[in-house]
Chains A and B, each alone.
Chain A
Amino acid sequence: MTCLLEARGLTRRFGGVVALDNLDLAVVPNEIMGLIGPNGSGKTTFFNVVTGIYGAHGGSVTFDGADITRASSRAVYHAGVSRTFQRSRLSLPLSIFDNIMIGNHKRLNQGLWFNLVRRGEFEREFEDNYAAARTLIEVFEPRLAERMFEPVAGLPMIDRRRIEICRALISQPKLLLLDEPSAGMTHDETKELMDDILQVRELNRSLTIVIVEHEMGLIERITDRCVVLNFGRKIAEGPYRQVAVDRQVQEAYLGVE
């Protein structure tokens, strides 16, 4: 079975710390994969290396058949990978619509002439994309759809997470990387959020999702299978229930007796 995303022997150091240690990891198309592990095990670093924020010190990453090991963040996005961030990185002074549109970069006409002179055509593109953004955010929270031109700054955390996910989804990526989407939210809010994501998945069966999480209930509910990291290496792999009772995984989280 061909993988959508594959890391082989991926290594990344920060000074003396080895964040990713010869990591082998494969993501299968159309699956929802959980990436779990104790704090500092390299989960976010893995995302950062895949999306080109950090370079790799060894090994390779392949996406959809192409080598993206040395690709810039821009190139990775254009290849079809989208992500959210651990500490929600929205542009707070900008409106909901603006924030979502940032994620839509590859589908918007960026030409100077088009934007400055051909205002009629620009207006049409604007209206089309407004409709698309509205439709998307309505899946998550219809009330936000009425407030598309309000600044994000005043909104509660759960709404910001929703907007961040919309920003990642608007460009219809092939792979979505979610980095601790439930951080800062209550149990109920998390459940709502995951229902929304599953709903989006229903609408778009070809979307592949990798989700980093600490909330195990969420992982158990949502994911098809999990990969467990510890000290930058993969220590277990399989469906959640299988992984949860794995000796090594338990030791990694709880320590050895």
Chain B
Amino acid sequence: MDVGLLTQYVMNGLMLGMMYTLVAVGFTLFFGVLDIIKFSHGDVLTVGAFTALATYIGLRSVGISSTPLLLLAMLVVAILAMAALGMLIARYLVMPLRSAPPLNTLLITLMLGTVLREMVRLFYPQGANPKPFPALLPTGSINLGQFNLRLDNVIMLAAGVTIIIGLRLLLDRTKLGLAIRAVAQDEETARTMGINFTAIVLITFAIGSALAAVAGVMNGLYYNEINFGMGLLLGVIGFSAAIIGGLGSIYGAILGGFLFAALQTIGAVALPFASAYKDVFAFTVVIALMAWRPTGLIQEKISERV
């Protein structure tokens, strides 16, 4: 196939990988810190996207039309709102269930996801229909001889990379990051070292949810459309990406996210007759990988003591 088409696929794959990674990192952070699976993560992404859209509509209706300002406002509002939502979820739904079997946390977050999804569907004006998302990034493209690189994709990719690097720096170089890693390793010891466990958990949930918000906005910008069910499949993909990478490892989440995107792209190329099958292909490979390496390609943290 020609180079232009190839680059298309590659760029597409990279964009998807970036979005999946942002979601997967959230899953991995939550599992790392609390040993729990927060199934509502994908739906937090949806709420983030809709919050951004609502902000846009609100600001436009009062006459603001400066694109960079709009975009900035949408991001800030979505991030802050989702961070707050994440903290509320942690404080009122997840932490009270710490002494119950982990199944209960899984179930409660699954149900919460449904609540979030249904609330968008029922209470956002015409939430059941897909909503157009504004194109707020520069629409030009860079011409590199045989193919074009869309400027907005490049910007989003760069933004995603920056965020991941930023997260890595946060975890590795700051006191907060150290505290998070300590809690992820061993809660009891972290507590005896004077780390405020609850605060760290809340902050971690805030960070993870903020990442979801960014992923939601990115999703909207990329597809120019959002719908109430978008978080469901993204959540499942993000979760599987986190698992095959190795739950608890940031690098694993990155690896898993891009691996899944690559599989989808290969599936789309190999099975052009029905795009739905690319997901089936990707998931089948992922499940096979899970069977082969249940603890992930990069070791999942072992949390059971015999």
Contact = CB atoms under 8 A, between A and B. Distances in A.
A48 interface: yes
Interface residues of A, number: 5
A53 interface: yes
Contacts of A53: 306
Nearest to A54: B306
- For the residues of B in contact with A, the DSSP-based class is loop
Interface string B279-306: 0000000000000000000000000001
A69 interface: no
A251 B306 CA distance: 28
A150 B223 CA distance: 59
Interface in B236-286: none
Contacts of B306: 44, 48, 53, 85-86
Interface string A32-62: 0000000000001000100001000000000
A75 B9 CA distance: 51
A86 B306 CA distance: 8
Contacts of A48: 306
Interface string A83-107: 0011000000000000000000000
A223 B217 CA distance: 69
A21 B254 CA distance: 37
B102 to A, nearest CB: 16
Nearest to B305: A87
Interface string A212-250: 000000000000000000000000000000000000000
A90 to B, nearest CB: 15
A53 B302 CA distance: 14
A44 B306 CA distance: 9
Nearest to A89: B306
B304 to A, nearest CB: 10
Nearest to B299: A15
Interface of A: 44, 48, 53, 85-86
5 contacts: A44-B306, A48-B306, A53-B306, A85-B306, A86-B306
Question: Closest 5 CB pairs between A and B?
Answer: A48-B306, A53-B306, A44-B306, A85-B306, A86-B306
